[in-house]
Amino acid sequence: MNKYTTEYLQSSLLNYYSSFARDLPWRKTKDPYCIWVSEIMLQQTQVKTVIPYYERFIQKFPTVKALSVANEDELLKLWEGLGYYSRVLNMHKASKMVVNDFNGIMPHTSTDLLKLPGIGLYTAGAIASIAYEERISAVDGNVHRVISRYFGLSLTKEALVPLMDEILPLSRIGDFNQAIMEIGALICLPNSTPQCLSCPLKEHCVALSSNSIDTLPLKPKKLKRTKELFTMLMITDDDYFYLQKRPSKGLLANLWEFPLLEGHLSIDDVSKHLNTFDYFNLEIQPLPNTTHTFTHKDWDIIAYQIKINKPHLIPGLTLVSKDDLKHHYTLSSLFNKYQEYYR
């Protein structure tokens, strides 16, 4: 790196951002709370998906104090469809900390922001630089890709952070960080699809000139995936479903689900399991099998619909009307898609 290529990077990105930045609702404010909400929603989620969720969320909970007193089930329902529900649960915890430990005012520094649940180095840097112009970088996958290719660096995302802090401009820190993200999201795309001819950095991009775009950035080692087997039971009569709530920690924490049993069970096994609750006139029908993918594991699920002639009290399960399920109970996409099979 030299001073010229760094200054070219800074000026090119800021000029590009001034002219071509997308018109996004969270870019119309410097409110750190709104920026925080948008950054959390944008994790693992596309911008076009986030926009309506963001607008509904801010309308319902316009301040960190409003979020701190929200009902958890209401929060989960509002988040339904975005996935990665631990994000909103951590936001809820963090909002209570802001109210209790920071007098209801979002922390003004990245150091204090890092004290909040669910906020890591990237999110703290994004909020602090955009809302407060703190001179700190925000390195996500997009930034890692753009900077690695521009300078021709084989560094991990973590190793890139101190370098990014050095090449920040003296002003418009938030715009600079967002400009790199913008280039990574729209132009410097992953794999073999970058739009190099449209890139404002093409004149001095090392990866482009050395034909090494496909090898940069340095990719982390993939963790070995595991598979877990489950049997899902959609127990219904004409008007009700039976649900159970997942534990407060772990995958799909605090969400509701149709009863899930470990292993792949046959119809006979399911019948024996349900008869322990003294059911009558059980009708068991197979439903399509599915696989649900998490970050480092897969759930391989076989499913059955169980019709009963009248509701019963079942230990550990909650009887929920179809209308209540639609409006008040949050299921992950895994379980939501099975409702279409109800008949």
Distance, in Å, from the CA atom of 146 to the CA atom of 187, rounded to the nearest integer, reads: 9
Distance, in Å, from the CA atom of 165 to the CA atom of 112, rounded to the nearest integer, reads: 18
User: Token pair 């390195």 is at which residue?
Assistant: 139
| Residue 267 tokens, joined | 């119809």
Distance, in Å, from the CA atom of 290 to the CA atom of 284, rounded to the nearest integer, reads: 18
Distance, in Å, from the CA atom of 322 to the CA atom of 236, rounded to the nearest integer, reads: 10
Residue 182 has, within 13 A of its CA and on its CB side, a CA count of 24
What counts of helices (H) and strands (E) characterise the chain? 15, 7
Clarify whether 340 is annotated catalytic: no
Annotated active-site residue in 39, 80, 134, 257: 39
| Residue 241 tokens, joined | 């479903």
Residue 228 pairs in a beta bridge with: 299
Residues carrying an active site annotation: 39
